[in-house]
Each structure stands twice: as structure tokens, then as C-alpha cells.
Amino acid sequence: MASRPLVFLIHGMGKHDGTWAEGFVSTLDKCIVKHKYRNLVGRKISELVEFVPIVYDNYFEDTTAAWKKNSAAILEQASPAEKEIFESAVDWAAGLDPQSKAEEFAWTHAVDVLLWRAHPLIRNAVKTQVADRITGSIVKRLKDNPADLLNTSIVSHSLGTSVCKHVLEDLSRGGWSMGRTGFDPTFFHFTSLHTVANICALLDFPGYYGAYAGFVKPGPSGDPDSYCKYFACYANQFDPFAVVRPFEPPQWNHDMFDVKRVNHVHDLNVHALEHYALHPLVHITMFRSWLGYHTVPAEEEITAISNFATIGPKITKAAQNRLKELVSRSSGAIGSTPDLVDVLKGITLFYREVKP
């Protein structure tokens, strides 16, 4: 019996702990039940696939927690006369605790993007942690099951698409080991990369970290210039972060690359990974890349898509209008040639309204 595919899950912006992937996995299970895929029904997806959820939010959390702690300590230790002097400088940091849930939701999302984009040292810490998890799991699996074919896949979401891109660029170049060694593309290709609400083009890093530059693109195994055999990108037309500057590689091999455009609204947070996973185009593509094309035959795919309601039962007409306005405002704030501040404005506007 061949071993289960290894699927790494990389989260997006916002607060995430070790249990963050449970929502996504249970959504996939619900989709199997709802659409009655005959090769999957009665099974949990985690019986067929080994999910490895990866958390990197701890570095963002620790940094902002340290700011708060240091600022609070200064105010605590200062005499009343000194307090007046220092309050203006550090009080805002001590008061980083947002006043409401909605503000906190917006703040945690924006600060993650800010620290990732603007701080190379925190970025390197994040990349190293993610790379450690990926390489550690692959090496362990190859030691435990030396004879098996190994299907390795990554599902990254939102900010995680940028994290994934950076990690794989560095891994392919032997960034941690001073040169190209075990994980170089000529000897190792990921089977599939799934980027949900890909924001690589939006964050616009220079050099080989640029959205379409570098090795993170699909290509044949053994090819020194690519790092995966299949690359999928999913974009919801109501998701401001996926449509303002969409991920559209110019000349990638279309036999190995897909953009899956969806337009469903079952919740106001159309950017959420779980919300994307509801759409048959999204979860069927994932199932097939992990378990083979024949897992969901073509006729089942057609039926599932035609039966899928674009507007969810909980979404009223008023909610639809509100979402349209919100998307328009967020997209407007981001603009067509956004810098980091524009992106942060867009995130804050969107997540203030879209509550957890």
C-alpha cells in the first residue's frame, strides 16, 4: 500500500495557532459528503492524505507582544515626572491592544503583512521555521518509507503564498546550506503547489522573489529551472486581495498551470481559505492532485459545479450589496499600483467590516 500524500498547509495573515487547519480540513470533509464523490464518500480526507499544518504567526505575535511588554515596563518603572515624558513615546505601543474584536481582527492581519514585507530579519526567522517543517517532514517520510513514491504538495493561502514562494526559492538555491544540495530542483520537485488568493503580485518583492521570477513555477521533474510539477492559483472575484493585482504569470506551461477563477459568496469573509475550499473547482483540483485524476471523475465534477450555489443560503441581498461596497472600497484603497501602505489600508478597511 502506497503511503499517503504529504500535504503542507501554510496559513495566511491574522492570528493562527496549532489548530488553525482544522477548519479547512473539516470543510473538505463536508464537501465530500455534500457532493457525494463516490471514490471518497464515507472516508475522511485525513485518512487519505497526511496534512502538515505549518504555523509561522508566532514570530509576528512575539514581536508585537515584546513591544507591548517593553513599553508597559517603561511606564511602570518611570516616576510620575518621567512618565509625562515617556508616555507620548511608548504609550501608543502599550495601548496596542485593540479596543474591539473587529479592530483586533484588522490589526493582527495588517501587522503580519507589515512585518513580513518590511522586516527582513523577521522574514528570515519565518522562512527558516517553515523550511524546517517542510524539509523535516519530507526527510522523515523518506526514511520511514524509502520504497514509496512520495506525493508532496503545498496549499498556501493569502500571505502564506508569499511565505511559500520565498521559502521554496531559498530552499531550491540551498539558502541555508551555502549552495545547491539535496533539495535542488534537478533532484527534487514538489508534486503540486496550490496558492489560494495568491498575493505574490500584490506584495511585489524584487529579484527572484518577484511573483513570476525564480524557480517557483511548474516544470518537468529534473528540470533545473522549476520546482513543482503542477501549480494552481485560485481567485475569487469578490476577494479584493486576489483581484486587484491578480497572479497572472505570462508564459507558464498551461499543461502544468491553472488559474481557477471562482465567484461564490457563502460568507462575507470571501478571502478565507475555508470559503475558497467550498467551491468544487477548488477542492476537486486539490483532491485530484493528491489522489489522482480518477478520484473525482469528470462527470462528477460537472454535476458538482452545476449544483453548487454561487450565493450561499445565509447571504441576503443586503449582505451582497454590503460586500460589493466593501470590496469596492478596499480595492479602491489598494489602487492599481499599490505600495505597502495602500495594501495595509485595504486590509484594514476589509477586515474592520468582515468580522471573525
Partner 1 sequence: MTSIRCHRVTHERKSRPVLTLLLLLCNTVALTQGASDSTFAAWHTKWLTERQSQDGDDALAAAKAQGIREYFHNTRAAVAVLAGDPMLTQRETQWANNFLKVMDVTAVPLVTNRPDEILAEIPPSRDPVRKAKDLSGELRLTVTGDPFDVSNPTTMSGDFVIFQGTTNEILIPGNSESRAAQTLFRTAAKLHVVLRQSNLPAMVAVNESIARAKQRWDNFVANAISDQFPWETSINGALASIDKNEMFSGTLAYPPRLQLRLAHPFAAEAVAVEGESTFVPRMVIEAIGIRRFAAETYEPVYGFSLVAIPKLDSEESWGYGIVYTRRVFSAGLVVQDLEQGDDTVQIVLGLKFSQLLKQKAIGLKQRLAAVKDRLEIFGHCFSNTARCPAN
Span 4-43, contacts to partner 1 by CB under 8 A = 5
Rg, Å, the chain Cα set? 21
- The dihedrals phi and psi of 280, each to the nearest 5 degrees, come to -55, -35
Asked if 303 is part of the footprint of partner 1 (rule: CB under 8 A), the reply reads no
Look at the chain and count its residues: 356
Measured CA distances, 258 to 16, 66, 106, 197, 320 (Å): 28, 42, 31, 13, 28
Q: How far is the CB of 196 from partner 1 (least distance, A)?
A: 17
Asked if 81 is part of the footprint of partner 1 (rule: CB under 8 A), the reply reads yes
Beta-strand ranges (E) seen in the chain are: 6-10, 50-54, 152-157, 192-196, 231-236, 257-262
Whichever of 68 and 322 has its CB closer to partner 1, that residue is 68
Are the beta carbons of 259 and 248 closer than 8 angstroms? Answer: yes
Asked if 139 is part of the footprint of partner 1 (rule: CB under 8 A), the reply reads yes
Candidate residues 27, 71, 198, 269; the one interacting with partner 1 per rule CB under 8 A: 71
Whichever of 223 and 353 has its CB closer to partner 1, that residue is 223
Q: Candidates 265-273, 285-293, 304-312, 335-343: pick the segment binding partner 1 (CB under 8 A).
A: 285-293
Residues that contact partner 1, how many (by CB under 8 A): 86
* Number of CB atoms found within 10 A of residue 65's CB: 12
Whichever of 94 and 327 has its CB closer to partner 1, that residue is 94
Nearest-angstrom CA–CA distance, 68 and 71: 5
Q: In what order do the strands lie in the sheet with 50-54?
A: 50-54, 6-10, 152-157, 192-196, 231-236, 257-262
* Number of CB atoms found within 10 A of residue 174's CB: 14
Candidate residues 89, 302, 309, 341; the one interacting with partner 1 per rule CB under 8 A: 89
Candidate residues 90, 155, 163, 278; the one interacting with partner 1 per rule CB under 8 A: 90
Q: Candidates 9-17, 243-251, 252-260, 339-347: pick the segment binding partner 1 (CB under 8 A).
A: 252-260
Q: Candidates 80-88, 100-108, 272-280, 348-356: pick the segment binding partner 1 (CB under 8 A).
A: 80-88
Q: Candidates 84-92, 236-244, 260-268, 307-315: pick the segment binding partner 1 (CB under 8 A).
A: 84-92
Asked if 188 is part of the footprint of partner 1 (rule: CB under 8 A), the reply reads yes
DSSP 5: P
Q: Which of residues 325-354 bind partner 1 (CB under 8 A)?
A: none
C-alpha cell at 323: 460586500
Whichever of 218 and 240 has its CB closer to partner 1, that residue is 218
Q: Which of residues 208-227 bind partner 1 (CB under 8 A)?
A: 218-224
